[in-house]
Amino acid sequence: MIKILKNLRVYKWMVVAIFGLVFIQSLSELFLPTLMSNIIDDGVIPGNLSLIWKIGAVMLVVTALSAIAAVAASYYSSKAAMGLGRDIRRKVFKHVEGFSLQDFDKVGTASLITRTTNDITQIQQVVLMILRMVLTAPIMFAGGLIMALSKDAKLSLVIVATMPVLVVAIIFIFKKGLPLFQKVQKRIDRLNLVLRENLTGIRVIRAFIREKDEQERLGTANKELRDVSITVNRLMAFLQPTMMLVMNFTIIGVIWFGGVRIESGGMQIGDLMAYIQYVTMIMMSLVMASILFVMIPRAAVSANRVNAVLEMEPTEMPEGSQKADRIPGTLEFDDVTFYYPGAEEPALSNITFKARAGETTAIIGGTGSGKTTLINLIPRFYDISDGDIRINGISIQDATQEEIRSKIGLVPQQALLFSGTIEENVRFGKEDATEEEVAHAARIAQAEDFISRMDDGYESHITQGGSNLSGGQKQRLSIARALIRQPDIYVFDDSFSALDFKTDANLRASLVDETKDATVVIVAQRVSTVMDADQIIVLEDGKIAGIGKHQELYAENDVYREIVESQLSEEESA
């Protein structure tokens, strides 16, 4: 929590103002019982009406001052707490953007979402309470105790007798609560994970009629969260009645012994009434402290989880400062080997090939052969274990990641669109693209036809994930987004699988002129997509089984021939 609270430095003047306002509010509230004591003892009992009006007016002024200070303190504390939450979210998001894919795998997307939302919300709430209570509670406690002692020191023995009960209750709840709060956050993580899988995989769940099983899985995650939350709430529920019971018994004791003191002439009625209010203030300050002691451990758990992300060093990827422009439009793999983190066997072994400008390099192979892994190494989503990858004649480790990725137009296997208009999604590849460039990219990607049929054309709205478009339409917009960049290297990761044969053929024909000065790398499952490539790389078990053109591979490579014959007739493959 201390590390998190350091972020309040930005709001230091606001915090100072809050503490000043809280101080004024607390002093005002401490002054009111004394005024009430005076109005009773010196005004009501003797029947001094003018004094009643005079003290009453002072009480109204003090109350108004207390109310203004309270409202202002609430406003500024809310502003500071919400601002802190915004700043931490921004900080976490910016830090996470620097993570490699293996860093994301390490923490988990569902956990990152929980930490950025629920955990930071917990911190916000506690910071809000700290700003309002951390000064109020000690001032009210110390001030109430001093004022109570000034009214009658002997009667204060009642408070001394009941104080240990409250302290023991607070310590008990503090020790029991901390591990439970940790469990709550982990259960929320689990629930978020199950919900996310169900929402993103709803089509698969329905296709395999697994709704009931997934409902049970969600029910289990819900039950686990519910059980630990109930345990926490039972513990919290124990605190409030204990506090109220002790407070009420204390007040009873004060009234009992205060009555004795009044009867003996050692105390006045107004002083007793003021004393009761000061006792209430003392007890309420302890209640406030107990709430803080309960909430701070939970926020501390959340703060630790947020700090764990902020302190997590992104996997080191050494960068140089060279410009990737030595041999434009070239891609080279030089004896590249790659292991996934923690894997015993390499996903790719001794991969060597060169792709030149104006040529199309196709990558084909069975499931699990390493095609997508190879593609993920080009924009340096993962760092290779051995060997070297060169883009435009420069090793990807000798240039910045931004420089390398600026030379690549990537179309991922799963087309991902963002909520917004069609034009905004195409412009995602080039922010300052003109309308003509957007239209040209859509035309080459064979998307112009379906865009023109939509009511608002390029201004047509796309829902989250592109759910109001077909798979082929999303894929074509994803291709247009890469084309508009006009990069040196185009990477298509099985990007034509959602297209029909006619659209596929038209698209590849349009790409010939568009990519004549660039390297095109295509990962494909369909042989018809790769037959015309300048070179075809056949992968098997993470190794190159053959490189060449269609005819020579079909004649000489058993792995490629098996793939071709599984898809095409003898006449088509010739």
Highest mean pLDDT among 24-33, 143-152, 283-292: 24-33
Residue 238 — very low, low, confident or very high, per pLDDT cuts 50/70/90?
confident
- Residue 310 burial by Cβ neighbours in a 10 Å radius (0-12, 13-18, 19+): middle
Question: How many whole angstroms separate alpha carbon 154 and alpha carbon 371?
Answer: 85
| pTM over the 0.95 mark | no
Mean pLDDT of 30-38: 83
Mean pLDDT of 500-525: 83
User: To 10 degrees, what angle do helices 12-38 and 49-96 make?
Assistant: 160
Residue 60 — very low, low, confident or very high, per pLDDT cuts 50/70/90?
very high
More confident residue, 124 or 161: 124
Does pLDDT of 263 surpass 90? no
Question: How many whole angstroms separate alpha carbon 520 and alpha carbon 511?
Answer: 9
Mean pLDDT of 503-526: 84
Question: How many whole angstroms separate alpha carbon 574 and alpha carbon 563?
Answer: 14
- Residue 464 burial by Cβ neighbours in a 10 Å radius (0-12, 13-18, 19+): exposed
Mean pLDDT of 441-451: 88
Q: Are 7 and 44 in contact (CB under 8 A)?
A: no
The secondary structure of 526-549 as a DSSP string is -HHHHTT-SEEEEEETTEEEEEE-
- pLDDT for 321 equals 81
- pLDDT for 306 equals 86
Q: Are 336 and 348 in contact (CB under 8 A)?
A: yes
Highest mean pLDDT among 8-12, 436-440, 528-532: 436-440
| % the chain with pLDDT above 90 | 7
Residue appearing with tokens 């004549």? 516
More confident residue, 195 or 67: 67
Looking only at the bridges linking them, the beta strands covering 331-338 and 348-355 are antiparallel
Q: Are 352 and 335 in contact (CB under 8 A)?
A: yes
- pLDDT for 354 equals 92
- Cβ neighbors of 422 (< 8 A, separation 6 or more) are 442, 451, 454, 457, 458, 459, 460, 462, 477
Query: Which residue, 478, 522, 129, is CA-closest to 294?
Result: 129
Does pLDDT of 572 surpass 60? no
Does pLDDT of 303 surpass 60? yes
- pLDDT for 65 equals 92
Is the CA virtual torsion 451, 455, 461, 462 positive or negative? negative
In angstroms, the Cα distances linking 443 to 30, 146, 365, 511, 518 are 76, 82, 30, 11, 19
Give the three-class secondary structure for 379. Answer: coil
User: What element of type H or E holds 504?
Assistant: helix 501-514
Q: Are 376 and 425 in contact (CB under 8 A)?
A: no
Give the three-class secondary structure for 370. Answer: coil
Instruction: Compute the CA torsion angle 419, 425, 430, 433 (nearest 10 deg).
Output: -120
Question: How many whole angstroms separate alpha carbon 157 and alpha carbon 134?
Answer: 26
Residue 390 — very low, low, confident or very high, per pLDDT cuts 50/70/90?
very high
Does pLDDT of 125 surpass 80? yes
Mean pLDDT of 275-283: 81
More confident residue, 44 or 85: 85
Does pLDDT of 281 surpass 70? yes
Domains of the chain: 85-311 (1.20.1560.10), 320-407+489-574 (3.40.50.300), 416-486 (3.40.50.300)
- For residue 540, list its beta bridge partners: 543
Q: Which tokens belong to 164?
A: 């240990």
Instruction: Compute the CA torsion angle 557, 563, 564, 567 (nearest 10 deg).
Output: 170
Total count of residues recorded for the chain: 574
Residue 536 — very low, low, confident or very high, per pLDDT cuts 50/70/90?
very high
Q: Are 390 and 396 in contact (CB under 8 A)?
A: yes
- Residue 466 burial by Cβ neighbours in a 10 Å radius (0-12, 13-18, 19+): buried
- pLDDT for 72 equals 92
Mind listing the pLDDT tens digit for each residue in 538-549?
A: 998 889 988 989
Mean pLDDT of 148-161: 75
Does pLDDT of 574 surpass 60? no
Mind listing the pLDDT tens digit for each residue in 316-370?
A: 777 788 888 888 888 999 999 998 877 888 899 999 999 988 888 999 988 788 8
User: What element of type H or E holds 363?
Assistant: strand 360-365
Does pLDDT of 570 surpass 70? no
Q: Which tokens belong to 435?
A: 């309308």
